[in-house]
Homo-oligomer: A and B are copies of this chain.
Amino acid sequence: MTEPTASPAPPLSATARTSLGRRKDRAGTDRTSLHEVLDAALICHLGLVLDGHPQVLPTGFGRDGDVLYLHGSSGARSMLAAGDEPQVCVTVTLLDAVVYSRTLNDHSMNYRSAVIYGRPRVVTDPAEKDHGLRVLSEHLAPGSWEHARVPNAKELAAVTVLALPLNEASVKARTGPPADDPAEYATGAWAGVLPLHQQWGTPIPAPDLAAGIPAPPHITDRRT
């Protein structure tokens, strides 16, 4: 993703909700950590308040500098609600391992997560809307913008693009082995980490794909 070329961005704001109430040792608020977590994830979970109740939906996103782009059908309820610029919470989670401790109580997960709060604006400028969709596309399917047909006017009209500034956010992570009290060694239980990996499989051509069209390198060489 593109980094901002202007002067360095200010630190992320520390508000009550981004100042973690507990496990402060797992907290980070620097932009580099935030960008790394966002760029390593494919989807986010978008939280909204609808009729006073929480709603959480998985959705794609893309990042350009300190702006997060989200998109959806112009008819989707969650996007319409967000279009009124209410508060949203966007959470991204990468699960890296299960941590096996000598005690159940100290079992844990290794993970990286980011929580972003803000009021997204609906992107109305045609050039920025096109740009936002390209940023989303490059995140979810890098290389496709050059390879497939880009959106036409009718398709553009049917999609809503939202821009959420990365101003208020927190990053949390756990890494490394379990940390058992030596008094627990006597349990004799195994302790350690079981890593969880994500990887792309072999591309499966569509049944209606004409013969002689190989999967291009941006798909066959894709790395998680």
Contact partner, A198, options B107, B187, B191, B198, Cβ 8 Å? B198
A204 in contact (CB, < 8 A): yes
A29 within 8 A of B: no
A73 at the B interface (CB under 8 A): yes
In the bound complex, do residue B206 and residue A192 qualify as a contact, i.e. CB atoms below 8 Å apart? yes
In contact, A150 and B104 (Cβ under 8 angstroms): yes
Distance to closest chain B CB from A139 (angstroms): 11
Size bracket of the A interface: 35 or more
A69 on the B face (CB < 8 A): no
The secondary structure that dominates the A interface is mixed
Residues from chain B with Cβ under 8 Å of A155 in the complex: 103, 105
- How long is the Cα–Cα vector from A214 to B191 in the complex, in angstroms? 10
Q: Which residues of B contact A89 (CB under 8 A)?
A: 47, 53-56
Contact residue among B102, B144, B202, B219 (Cβ-Cβ distance under 8 Å from A149): B102
> Contacts A43-B109, A53-B87, A206-B178: A104 and B198 contacting too (C-beta < 8 A)?
no
12 residue pairs bridging A and B, Cβ less than 8 Å apart: A21-B76, A47-B54, A58-B111, A100-B141, A102-B149, A103-B148, A104-B133, A107-B137, A177-B207, A192-B215, A195-B202, A196-B198
